[in-house]
Amino acid sequence: MAGTFALSDIVARFDGELVDDDGVRISRVAPIERAGPHEISFVSQSKYLKQIETTQAGALILPPEGKALTKRPRIITPNPYLYFARVSTLFNPLPQPAPGIHPSAVVDEHADVAPSASVGPGAVIGKDAKVGARTVIGPNCSIGEGVQIGEDCLLYADVSVYHACVIGSRVILHSGCVIGSDGFGLANEKGRWVKIPQTGRVILEDDVEVGACTTIDRGALDDTVIEEGVKLDNLIQVAHNVRIGAHTAIAGCTGIAGSAKIGRHCMIGGAAMIHGHIEIADGVRISTNTLITKSLNKPGTYTSALPFSEHGEWLKNAVHMRNLDKLAARIKELEKRIAEIEGKDK
């Protein structure tokens, strides 16, 4: 079968313990409930191991506690989810168009595009821009003057990279994302807004991925910096002069205000809001819909969003929340009176 892998080939690449290999060749990965005889699936948590009783998958990726629960060919590994990610990448490599510049692309004569790079139809590459080896510039991308793009990058269709920004190697930019647009810098003069030139850059270090329609503003004076290995979901706003530490992951619809500094190895849930000019320590986890208004100086999980409830109940709780300050004052007054009474009784 063309385009398939033996389980022994997979284990040779990614390690793991191969058990009961029957010579099956795998053509793709699939969900455990729909996988067929030439597909491989996985179970990452013990509570889902019961699903292997009914699966028709040709092979499984399982944690050690699942080893004895089936006779199907299986790969045993301490982290099945990570193993699945690597196997899925094996079967689904990133697109690699033929090298060259499409006739409809517009490339400035002073731009430097590596011969092994691919520039798609309608793309525009500005003066003094540099595109590294094997990088793919998708259809209708706009690469501004002086932009530097490293090797093995993938820019899907309609990505915009403004002037002077720096993109490292192996960076993935999804459709519609905008790198280096002006930060929201304005001064007020008698009720009118005066624009402040944004003269910094955006720097994306190696192995960063930016989701569709995410926007990263250039710095006002210094640079906006996204460190190596950061993963940004779709529809995120990163304001000017933000710094995001290496290997942090941020889910969709999050907003990060200007000059916030986020540490390394953080995880931020969807629709979180981060105030500007604050610092978040390494290893912090922020729950979805959480509003962070001050610096977080130590790792841990932080949550501010209330769980949903029936609307009538929510209204009642909202009334109580609005009166928390008055309630706290009443409690202090009661504590004072109790102390006075106890003092008289002694």
Active-site annotation holds for 163: no
Q: Which of 240, 265, 275, 277 is catalytic?
A: 240
Question: At 107, phi and psi to the nearest 5?
Answer: -120, 120
Burial bucket for residue 122 (CB in 10 Å: 0-12, 13-18, 19+): middle
From CA 230, how far away is CA 168, in angstroms rounded? 12
For residue 187, the number of C-alpha atoms closer than 13 Å in the C-beta half-sphere is: 6
Q: How far apart are CA 161 and CA 171, in angstroms?
A: 13
List residues bridging with 155 in a β-sheet.
Answer: 137, 173
- Token pair of 174 as six digits: 């999804």
Nearest by Cα to 102 from 82, 117, 118: 118
CB atoms within 10 A of CB 3: 8
The residues annotated as belonging to the active site are 240
